[in-house]
Amino acid sequence: MKKALRILCLLFVFIANAQDSFELAAFAKANQAYTEENYDLAIAGYEQILKTSKHSAEVYFNLGNAYYKINAIGPAIYNYEKALQLDSENRDVINNLKFANQMKIDVIEATTTTGLESDVSRVITALSVDEWAYFSILILLFTVLVFLLYYYAQTTSKKRLFFILTFFGLLFLAISIAAAFYVKSSLNDQQYAIVYTAEFTTREEPREEAAPSFNLHEGTKVEVLEEFNQWALVLLSNGSKAWIPLDKIKKL
């Protein structure tokens, strides 16, 4: 039995290494095609890697660059956005996404919401889930430290001070954990997509015969609010809503 398990483990390792070698070779081949300005071949290579479920910011970034080179703005923006989902701090991706967005036809000014709730939401979502998690760990360490100082304090005044600090530490810890869950929930609730068709006139209702609403062009980012009969109700950053067929957009 032990020998069989050992052989099985070695087999799994061999398959995993073979798969990694194949993906590295495919990535190198696609990069070579990109360097030689054979962008169609590079796109095919990167897309093939993604079909193996090996998703990485590097593959999406290079794929976005290849699409950008052939002026396919919708796919370029889509892949830059996918790269940012995996590496939100990547400056190369952020800069190239800015260039791609400048080539869009639609220029939509985002509306600014007002009110206390909106202001609080903006402050909370300014940090990512990971940043809130790191902040929570720092607060936890601080709280543990001041609690120990409270526990070993010799005077009443010091105990009172460290008790107050411990209380505020626990309070801020609870707030930071709640903020992390809020950001995570917001991300899970929001579904964005990129318009993939050159131009489409959206509808006020989810059917072709409905009254037209406004035109959308390739590369525009929308939020998907609802789906019905192969149509999606989308929200623009300026607050406008309309229906568009699902096959005209690609979800991020």
Residue 76 lies in a domain: yes
Q: What is the CATH number of the domain that holds 199?
A: 2.30.30.40
Number of domains in the chain: 3
pLDDT computed for residue 37 by the predictor: 94
Assigned token pair, 251 = 């979800």
Residue 111 lies in a domain: no
* 193-243 pLDDT tens trace: 999 999 999 999 999 999 999 999 999 999 999 999 999 999 998 889 999
Helices and strands, number each (H, E), in the chain: 8, 7
User: How far apart, in whole angstroms, are the C-alpha atoms of residue 247 and residue 111?
Assistant: 27
The answer to whether residues 18 and 66 belong to one domain is yes
Residue 108 lies in a domain: no
Model pTM? 0.68
User: How far apart, in whole angstroms, are the C-alpha atoms of residue 5 and residue 15?
Assistant: 15
Sheet holding 191-195, edge to edge: 212-217, 199-203, 241-245, 231-235, 221-228, 191-195, 249-251
* 64-82 pLDDT tens trace: 999 999 999 999 999 999 9
Which residue range(s) make up the domain with 54? Answer: 2-101
The answer to whether residues 42 and 77 belong to one domain is yes
Q: Choose one of 146, 162, 189: the last residue of a domain.
A: 189
Residue 92 lies in a domain: yes
If pLDDT is split at 50, 70 and 90, which confidence band does 44 have?
A: very high
